[in-house]
A = this chain, B = another copy of it.
Amino acid sequence: MVLGIDIGGTTIGFGLVNANGEISHRHKFVTADYSDFHAFLLDLKKHMEERQLLNKIEAVGVGAPNGNFYTGCIDFAPNLDWGEHIAVSKEVQRVFGLPSWLSNDANAAAAGEKQYGGAKLMRDFAVITLGTGVGSGFYVNGEMLQGKYGNGGEFGHVIVEENGRLCGCGNKGCLETYTSVTGLMTTVKKLQEESYSSLLSMDVVLNGKLVADAAEKGDAIAIKAFSITSTYLGKALANLITLFDPEAIFLLGGLAQSGEMIFKETQEVMEANLMPLFKGKVKLLPSELNDADAAILGAAAIAAEQMQD
């Protein structure tokens, strides 16, 4: 059994994961309850001891924004108040006396897809998370692409629009400013400012589900917003395929749950922008991981795949 820990700015989810990708003893702690990572770990250990689970754990995998596989550190995480550098793998090894690995959350999602999801038999594939931001993880020749410094796979920060929307990273026109849930909502707001024909009220706090529902009901602005989003995503995926020649691309996260609303036009635009060599070959698929499970499974997979090597 591998303990998978998903560190977020609000909560830390964890659970025990078996070889079949089944999660047991799932629980979460509130991030703000802990002054540092060490304090969290001590509480986690106590929690496991009380339930007599400690001796069942063979390894610990951790997924976190800005988590670096090579150093085992979380560096400059914008949503964590635990210092600039958090030595995650070292601390876990010290407190639990177990092997431990860390990765950023998007790479962890890709590892989860390979270990427990739809990519079990694939050697070359990509996982794209369309959530608050856009993340990605790539496998090449059966191995995770980490890059020289452990920062590989930042698909959300590929620039797709000259002087486009301002991104949190400081650049303009990054893909995630258009194809994240946040990006979709920005698009809706912009379209609403240009027109008053929408069913969507500006007063309602928008979220991706609401926009998808409105689009399903025929709301013109919601449909157009999905079309704009799909067009950006489809073009960016075509360029990605041109470089990686993957077997499949899996979509995960809030926007991926909009089903055909996002998949259909994204796939059409993607195919239209591919050179003949690549046309009709790459599968665009929804992740086979349950959205609620993906983060813990991904974290566990980071450790599981190292234990198999």
Contacts and interface: CB of A to CB of B under 8 A. Distances in A.
B235 A159 contact: yes
Contact of A138 (B143, B243, B278): B243
A277 B151 CA distance: 8
Contacts of A247: 148
Interface string A108-133: 00000000000000111000000000
A241 B251 CA distance: 22
Interface in A239-257: 239-240, 242-247
Contact of A124 (B148, B240, B281): B148
Interface in A134-160: 136, 138, 140-141, 143, 145-155, 157-159
Contact of A153 (B152, B238, B243, B276): B243
A301 B247 CA distance: 26
A78 interface: no
B151 A123 contact: no
Contacts of A169: 275-277
What class of interface size applies to chain A in its complex with B?
35 or more
Contacts of A138: 243
A273 B160 CA distance: 11
Given A159-B235, A238-B159, A275-B170, A145 B140 contact: yes
A22 to B, nearest CB: 29
Contacts of A157: 242, 275
Contacts of A242: 154-155, 157-158
A238 B140 CA distance: 20
A77 B139 CA distance: 29
Contacts of A207: none
Copies in the complex: 2
Contact of A143 (B136, B140, B151, B273): B140
Given A141-B140, A170-B276, A245 B148 contact: yes
Contacts of A274: 171
A143 B146 contact: no
A305 to B, nearest CB: 13
A147 B275 contact: no
A244 B275 contact: no
Contacts of A155: 242-243
A159 B151 CA distance: 24
Contacts of A146: 141, 245
9 contacts: A124-B147, A124-B148, A140-B143, A151-B245, A152-B245, A153-B245, A154-B245, A155-B243, A171-B273
